[in-house]
Amino acid sequence: MSHSSVRLLVALLIAVSAVAVPSGCTSEPARVLVFSHTEGFRHGSIPLAKEALIELGTSAAIQVDTTENPTVFNEDDLAGYDAVVFLNTTGDILDHPQQIAFQRFIQRGGGYLGIHAASDTEYDWPWYGQLVGGYFVNHPHIQEAALDVLDPDHPVVSHLPERWVRTDEWYNIRFVNPDIIPLISIDETSYDVGNDVSEGDSHPIVWYHEFDGGRSLYIGPGHTNESWEEAAFLEMVSAGLAWVMEGGTGTPESGLAPFDWEFVVDELASNLNEPMELATLPDGRVMFIERSGGIHLVDPASGSVDMVNEMPVAYGLEDGLLGLALDPAFEENQHLYLYYSPLDSSVNRLSRFAFDGNRIDPASEIPMLDVRTQRETCCHAGGSLEFGPDGTLFLSTGDNTNPFETDGFGPIDERPGRSPFDAQGTSANTQDLRGKILRITSEADGSYSIPEGNLFEDPAEGRPEIYVMGNRNPFRISIDPETGWLYWGEIGPDASDASDIRGPRGYDEVNQARSAGFFGWPLFIADNKAYQDWDFASASGKGWFDPAAPLNDSPNNTGSVVLPPAQPAFIHYPYAATLDHPLLESGGRSAMAGPVFRADATGAPSFPDFFEGKLIMYEWMRHKLLLVSVDDEGDYRYMQAFLPDHDWSRPMDMEFGPDGALYVLEYGESWNTRNEDAKLTRIRYRR
């Protein structure tokens, strides 16, 4: 490295040090941690870059520490720094506790500067993807290219010419954060892109943004040794450090990402027989139901687990005792609601019952709504019950259609005598209650009325109870207590691979409905990927369904032929691992939607503010709990692991209790039987 370049960098950063001091510590020098940990691959420029920064630390008023040891990512060590530089890092470099420590550093207003391969880092950590802004895809050979400075007034690039020609290794980037602000873009006509991953009209290579309380800047160049001897590049790095060290807005301590050890998971009951749904009572007890008909009460204070009722149900296929919810005025009226499969008729029934404090009175039953079913063959009963903040009651119902003779694609078999294999007669049928999420208002006399805003105002067009249609198996639903938005997990079909003549591979979905709508099944899946209208008699296609103008001309359809436009999924993922949702990894699929945390709705000191507005998504097959963050409009942003090291045994249902704890039903490892590891657990935050 030339001495003139070092002197320039030192002089620039001495100027930086005059303003970049830790908040509240004006007598201490600013400190920067440069981290360059790699996994078996070392960029050749790292030693020279470190040399420049070490000389800076010796000569300037800024203290610069360099390390390749990730153990420095802990609360105590990071507290001494104003900014962290990821210098050509590569791969997975931090474990989960280290990730949380770094996240908290940023949330407290810390600065982040990512250089070059910093975008080739932590692909399985979505929060980091949001921080850095994008991920490396590939690159052509090292060559000269022309760069366009987009904001010449920004201090990071104000010293650069409008057109900057230089040589480096130019990354193609998969952008994941829409809020980044580009400072420099590559002119793709000025070099050999060398692949088909062109960014089009804009190819940002240097950008910044404020994120999660801190400041972030990414500098794409920096691969070559020559970069670290180039005055203009070094000045950009120094100005970038100055900008990130000015600090972000910061987050209140209660809003910081918590460490796993701040939570305690208690086991309250075990050896359960297919637990399905739970409800927390105002007095602190927890009621849960089992598919075979058992209704239990657990008293966390005393440890007692009591059977309060054994309800006779048709227990076969996927039927049984399926759904449970307490009336919003339960303390006054002691009413609760069950969704179950009666023995004497081929329906699933929603009924209201009275609770006397220790037992449900069977004689108090008021049947409210029957959903007809076919029990010739399986599957998909749904059955989740939830009340919204306005007092309306939501009920999910499955498509009641056999999926096993359609090769894992849309079950749309229109041959005579095959109606149990055609979900066009259920999910896509506006006059059928199956494959839907219904919304009603329970009246005092046990009847129900139709609230405003459901999908069909005219009963001639569709059943007025329908809020959402086009569902396969919306097994668990939840409602945001603040916005009233509906969330549900949609368990999808089995095709492992897409077909050119049948349609897309199978996906599970987590969906969000801010208003009533049609969500596609069995004509579409995921982000409105279309199936072909398949003639099972001739094994040939009749054309692809159109999500903008879907039609249901099946002979099994008793409702409207013209359907509402299909809505794309909020989240979707296949059996295989995906770049979009790396935390879900790969494997079997059973998406579930848990509660949206709202501190005002819990009624007691509860989880930290970090959880505010986040949806707790869980994956039954993959034994995972995940936190889903949305933006101010409610659009999906990213996921974060929640208690990833806990051994979850197929989480089935969850609800925040009046004590602020999160209660979780776990189904157990084996299907259709009692499991020792089927249990009720409680997650408490140690405030």
Lowest mean pLDDT among 200-209, 278-287, 539-548: 200-209
pLDDT of residue 20: 42
pLDDT digit string, tens, across residues 77-107: 999 999 999 999 999 999 999 999 999 999 9
CA–CA gap between residue 499 and residue 355 (Å, rounded): 52
pLDDT of residue 412: 98
Q: Could you state, in order of their start, the residue ranges of all structural domains in the chain?
A: 3-255, 263-685
Residue 451: cis peptide before it, omega within 30 degrees of 0: no
pLDDT of residue 54: 73
CA–CA gap between residue 165 and residue 167 (Å, rounded): 7
Strand-pair partners of 335? 354
The rounded percent of the chain whose pLDDT value lies above 70 is: 94
Cβ-based neighbours of 63, under 8 Å, separated by 6 or more: 29, 30, 31, 32, 57
* CB neighbours of residue 165 within 10 Å: 11
Q: CA angle, 92 as apex, 110 and 618 as ends, to 5°?
A: 85
For residue 204, pLDDT beyond 80:
yes
Q: Quick one: residue 578, left, alpha or beta (phi over 0 = left, psi -120 to 50 = alpha)?
A: beta
Lowest mean pLDDT among 52-61, 283-292, 653-662: 52-61
For residue 6, pLDDT beyond 50:
no
CA–CA gap between residue 148 and residue 171 (Å, rounded): 16
**The whole model's pTM is what?**
0.95
Mean pLDDT of the chain: 94
pLDDT of residue 3: 46
pLDDT of residue 14: 45
The CATH number of 3-255 is 3.40.50.880
Indicate if 263-685 has the same CATH topology as 3-255: no
| Residue 39's pLDDT band (cuts 50, 70, 90) | low
| Residue 194's pLDDT band (cuts 50, 70, 90) | confident
pLDDT of residue 21: 41
Cβ-based neighbours of 596, under 8 Å, separated by 6 or more: 478, 479, 480, 481, 482, 485, 487, 613, 614, 615, 616
pLDDT of residue 16: 45
For residue 164, pLDDT beyond 90:
yes
| Residue 40's pLDDT band (cuts 50, 70, 90) | low
| Residue 57's pLDDT band (cuts 50, 70, 90) | low
Q: For residue 439, which amino acid is it?
A: R
pLDDT digit string, tens, across residues 282-340: 999 999 999 999 999 999 999 999 999 999 999 989 999 999 999 999 999 999 999 99
pLDDT digit string, tens, across residues 427-442: 999 999 999 999 999 9
Q: Which fold has domain 263-685?
A: Neuraminidase (2.120.10)
pLDDT of residue 386: 98
